[in-house]
Homo-oligomer: A and B are copies of this chain.
Amino acid sequence: MTIVSVLGSGVMATALTFPLADNGHEVRLVGTHLDRDIIDSLRATGVHPGLERKIPETVRIHQIEEIEAALEGAEIVMSGVNSFGVRWAGEQLAQLLEPGTLIISIAKGMEADPSGDLRILPDVLAERVPPSLRQDVSWSAVAGPSIAGEVAARRETCVVFAGRDEEALNRLADTFRTDWYHVWTSTDFVGVEVCAATKNCYALGVGFAEGILERLNEAESSDSNHDYEAALFGQAAFEMGQMVRLMDGRPDTPYGLAGVGDMYVTSMGGRNVRVGRLVGSGLRFSEARSKMAGVTLEGAVAIEVIGGALLKLTERGIIEPTDFPLMRHLHAIIAEDQPPKIPWGAFFGGEA
């Protein structure tokens, strides 16, 4: 039995308590200051309002004020916040982590410095922790195709735990793995995290396809626009490969669970696809975002960060202006409010 503390009680963090509880671990779920209502609901009824499902009875529930006790003695700490909460989570961990702890993070995204150099989020998380302590704990992350609602329904799910410390990854995998929650490990931390961040961006683009059909409002015999989606998906896989190589990740990482697998599941729906659909239907991104007020759009933020960084990397001559045509176009749509006009001819190294 392992003590696992989970910081953040959003749908994904909470869903991950299911395999942990199934394995008999002591799981302590700590809501952030934004999760107060979730924790109240869990305490009152056991039901997570986002998952619309009772969580395992053995999971212990904590409000943020109890964070100190909830992390005490934890062998594993999950940073269960999304990309917007990573710095905050790092600050909490800085005060409470004990040497030897295994940290595992679920946020997807990247950060860029002013010159356009990109960093993966687990490194951003770790930077909040003083260097001496930072080296005495291990940093890993969950990636791969998993929808929170499906994990909580105990559907067959295959994920990748990535990090730089193989032994830590194996211990984490052993702790989480069940006969329905399947875990692989990868020491290509950068490659896996680049995939995790970029698939949200590209899934937003896939959403255009359905929106365009709505805009056309054609009395068509066929009501699908899958050729369009598939071409974007193919180009996305191509660009993911380029970006992983650019950041010195392993070239084959995009072509399994962490890359195309996760991009498949993200393209099937969710908020990134939804906002893309609104843009495809004719709204500018600023209008689509207003329609989805209150919904965090990690894909759009990642497009701003990554697309903006690509512009700077181009100025510095590190990449060519013809590289990443899809990500650049997504950036023009999100950051400059342009309508979608897919540069098909620029895909796959150029059509003609």
Evaluate whether A147 and B234 lie within 8 angstroms (CB atoms) in the complex, with A158-B344, A351-B183 already known. Answer: no
The number of chain A residues with a CB under 8 A from chain B is 58
- Asked whether, in the complex, the Cβ of B344 is within 8 Å of the Cβ of A268, the reply is no
Q: Are A227 and B156 in contact (CB under 8 A)?
A: yes
Contact B344 A230 (CB under 8 A): no
Taking a contact as CB atoms under 8 Å apart, the answer to whether A153 and B351 are in contact is no
User: A231's closest neighbor in chain B, by CB?
Assistant: B158
A 301-314 to B, binary, CB cutoff 8 A, 1 in contact else 0 = 00000000000000
**Is A333 positioned at the interface, with any CB of B under 8 Å from its CB?**
no
Chain B residues near A228 (CB, 8 Å)? 155-157
**Stoichiometry, copies per complex:** 2
The answer to whether B231 touches A156, judged by C-beta atoms less than 8 angstroms apart, is yes
Given contacts A146-B227, A227-B145, A255-B238, whether A342 and B233 have CB atoms under 8 Å apart is: no
A163 close to B (CB within 8 Å): no
Cross-interface CB contact of A222 among B147, B257, B342, cutoff 8 Å: B147
The contact of A260 among B183, B221, B233, B257, by CB within 8 Å, is B233
Knowing A145-B227, A221-B149, A351-B182 are in contact, say whether A234-B53 is a contact too (CB < 8 A).
no
In the bound assembly, the distance between CA atoms of A230 and B258 in angstroms comes to 10
B256 touching A153, Cβ below 8 Å: no
A265 part of interface (Cβ distance < 8 Å):
yes
B residues in contact with A330, CB < 8 Å: none
A231–B351 CB distance below 8 A: no
- A342 and B155 CA atoms in complex are apart in Å by 13
Q: Tell me, yes or no, whether A237 is within 8 Å of chain B by CB.
A: yes
Contact A231 B261 (CB under 8 A): yes
Find chain B residues with CB under 8 A from A226 CB.
Answer: 145, 147, 150, 264-265, 268-269
- Could you list 6 A-B pairs, sorted by A, with CB under 8 Å? A52-B221, A145-B230, A158-B234, A229-B268, A241-B252, A241-B255
Contact B261 A230 (CB under 8 A): yes
Q: A348 within 8 Å of B by Cβ?
A: yes
Complex contacts, A155 vs chain B, CB 8 Å = 222, 225, 227-228
Pairwise interchain contact A256-B348, C-beta atoms closer than 8 A: yes
Q: How far is the CA of A232 from the CA of B218 in the complex (A)?
A: 34
Q: In the complex, which residues 5-55 of chain A have their Cβ closer than 8 Å to any Cβ of chain B?
A: 51-53
**Is A230 a contact partner of B265 (Cβ separation < 8 A)?**
yes
Cα–Cα, bound, A250→B221 (Å): 38
Partner of A182, one of B256, B265, B345: B345
What is the distance, in angstroms, from A260's C-beta to the closest C-beta of chain B?
5
In the bound complex, residues from chain B placing their C-beta under 8 Å from that of A229 are: 264-265, 268
Q: Is the CB of B230 within 8 A of A264?
A: yes
Interchain CB contact under 8 A, B225 and A237: no
Q: Which residues of B contact A259 (CB under 8 A)?
A: 234
Q: Is the C-beta of A151 less than 8 angstroms from some C-beta in chain B?
A: yes
A347 in the interface, Cβ–Cβ < 8 Å? Answer: yes
- Please indicate which of the listed interface residues A53, A151, A237 has the most CB atoms of chain B within 10 Å of its own CB: A237
A265 close to B227 (CB less than 8 A): yes
Whether the pair A222, B153 counts as a contact (CB closer than 8 A) is yes
A145 in complex: contacting residue of B149, B153, B231, B268, CB < 8 Å: B231
CB–CB A344/B182 < 8 A:
yes
Query: Assuming the A-B contacts A158-B344, A231-B145, A255-B254, are A150 and B222 also in contact, with contact meaning beta carbons closer than 8 angstroms in the complex?
Result: yes
| Chain B residues with CB below 8 A from A115, complex form | none
